[in-house]
Chains A and B, each alone.
Chain A
Amino acid sequence: MLKLTGIGKRFGGLTALQGISFEIVPGSITGIIGPNGAGKTTLFNIATGIYPPSEGAVLLDGKDISNWPPEKRAYLGLVRTFQNIELFGKMTVLENVMVGLHTQSKSGIFACALRMPWQMSEERRIREEARKWLEFVGIPELENVEAGTLSFGKGRLLEIARAMALKPKLLLMDEPAAGLNSSETADLADLIKRIRDLRVTVGLVEHDMDLVMDICDSLVVLNLGTMLATGTPREIQDNPAVVTAYLGEAE
């Protein structure tokens, strides 16, 4: 699905990533772990096209998309959520999800201004579809609330609904459990499994080790911008380098 080869990223003098190569296999949940500042978010930014990589290539289903802008990648079914929730704060919850349906609709500036009949039916279609995704994450009652007023937990759910509305092939989630309490985290684990059951491949950056160990099929460990190890959760847990560099201090 997503293949990274030799990814490096420098910010001025700082090397945030170096020599990152791994693949996220279709249908899997791949965890990307590592201490703060390891470069996980930067990696997602490169995968989704927010920054270009300084070196290396990003391939999606074998296609080199290294220099594609994010909006073009979205049309290939690559989408993400953000560590510091990025909602459309002044829009309603439902409208947020409707933006997630942007790639599946096409009325442009003229069709919208003139209210063409087909534009009206498209509008109805995406409205219904958006409601479906609010239902899916469990916040249908909030549809008319302004997104900026949502609690942290609900905001995260909305971000997931918005991303799922895009019918992604690959969903990258950046610390979705951060700031959630334990029952919310359990619900999240369940939600991510349901997402996988819809045959969406998931990339998951997360600090909550219980969650990671529970749901991930394979793990990539980053430390100081380099790859420390890859493998199944089992293997990672037993990897002495990881234990000293990361698990030892984080747990």
Chain B
Amino acid sequence: MKSDKLKFLLFAVVVLAIPLFIPKGYLTNVLIFVGINSMLALGLNLLLGYAGQISLGQAAFFGLGAYGSGVLNTQYVINPWLAMALVAVGVAAFAFAIGFPVLRLKGHYLAMATLGVGVIAYISFNETVDLTGGPSGLSGIENLSIGSFVFDSDIKNYYLVWSFALVSILLAMNMVNSRFGRGLRAIHDSEVAARVMGVNARLMKVQVFALSAFISAIAGSLYCHVMTFISPTSFSFPVSIELLTMVVIGGLGSVFGSVLGALLLTLLPEMLRAFQDMDIIVYGLLLISMTIYLPGGLVRGIPALFRKIVPARGSHA
């Protein structure tokens, strides 16, 4: 898909250029979290928007990534990059293993089971005090560094996080428009027909589940090194719901929709800061109204409103 490549290049240029045009400090800081959330939303979208399998436990993988890296960094002597890789592979392997029983479930049952996984992980973060510091959190995590170059400022972390996000986006775009991605979308539309065509639905669902866990774990590692402090609330059930909201608002089954959703939902609470805690009311309204009136998400809804025609066909990135 030529136009996809172009879209990605354009997007990458914009992302890399943004810091040149915005004031340093607060906004850059917010955009770092847009990057992290984009990865998380992308991970969920591959699973939910493409393969049609819901997960309400994504925060668990995010948390496992963050605590994995955080604990290895504070309590063991291990290169943090190596730790990030090991943790991501470990979390993906864990997701792969639990994926077989979990993804045999469908619909509401799947939602509840993944939610259960999320809650158990959250409780474990709180209870394994020796390792994680429990509810009061884990501090003293170092910034990442390459040689003597330390990612210790917002602007450096911006480029760090967004390099990972851009690579994830590129790989995801490649994947969804190929044999594997078609298999996922086929499962979404008709699992039985997909299987009759030789698509190994069970395996592919588990694979994409593991992939989404992998991306989330990387995002978690980045998060812990950027923040240098983590606590369980960042990985609780509401975070999984927030990710779900991002994907629904941005656009299910759209790579850029994930980014758009992450952007909006990361900026929104910042804007709603004046009205403390209003965010979950807004999320609730958004989830309901988007599902009823704009099920394709903004990424399709805006162009559709614009051109008043059905969304572009043929491209799914």
Contacts and interface: CB of A to CB of B under 8 A. Distances in A.
Interface string A50-76: 100000000000000000011100110
**Chain A CB within 10 A, most for which of B180, B182, B194:** B182
A70 B178 contact: no
Contacts of B196: 48, 50, 70-71, 74, 79-80
Contact of A109 (B180, B194, B195): B180
A105 B178 CA distance: 11
A88 B194 contact: yes
Contact of A119 (B178, B185, B186, B211): B178
A92 B211 CA distance: 25
Nearest to A91: B185
A79 B185 CA distance: 19
A91 B197 contact: no
Interface string B165-209: 000000110110011111101101110111111111100000110
Q: Provide the main secondary structure of the chain B interface.
A: helix
A35 to B, nearest CB: 24
A140 to B, nearest CB: 15
A199 interface: no
B194 A90 contact: no
A106 B179 CA distance: 8
Given A88-B186, A108-B180, A109-B207, A99 B199 contact: yes
Contacts of B180: 107-109, 112-113
B63 interface: no
A99 B313 contact: no
Interface in A134-156: 144-146
Nearest to B176: A112
A71 B198 contact: yes
A145 to B, nearest CB: 7
A70 B191 CA distance: 11
Given A90-B185, A91-B185, A107-B180, A102 B198 contact: yes
B80 interface: no
B174 A90 contact: no
B198 A75 contact: yes
A88 B211 contact: no
A87 interface: yes
A112 B175 contact: yes
Contacts of A82: 192-193
A99 B198 CA distance: 9
A94 to B, nearest CB: 8
B193 A87 contact: yes
Contacts of B178: 107, 112, 115, 119, 123
Given A112-B180, A123-B179, A88 B172 contact: no
Contacts of A162: 197
A201 to B, nearest CB: 16
**Chain A CB within 10 A, most for which of B200, B208, B253:** B200
A13 to B, nearest CB: 24
A114 interface: yes
Contact of A71 (B175, B188, B195, B208): B195
A210 to B, nearest CB: 28
10 contacts: A71-B200, A71-B201, A82-B193, A90-B188, A91-B182, A102-B199, A103-B198, A109-B175, A112-B174, A122-B179
Interface of A: 48, 50, 69-71, 74-75, 79-80, 82, 86-92, 95, 98-100, 102-103, 105-109, 112-115, 119, 122-123, 126, 144-146, 162-163, 166
Given A74-B197, A87-B189, A102-B198, 15 more contacts: A50-B195, A71-B199, A71-B200, A88-B193, A88-B194, A90-B188, A99-B183, A105-B179, A108-B180, A112-B174, A112-B175, A113-B174, A113-B175, A114-B174, A119-B178
Q: Which 8 A-B pairs have the closest CB atoms?
A: A74-B198, A112-B178, A103-B198, A86-B193, A88-B189, A112-B180, A113-B171, A70-B195
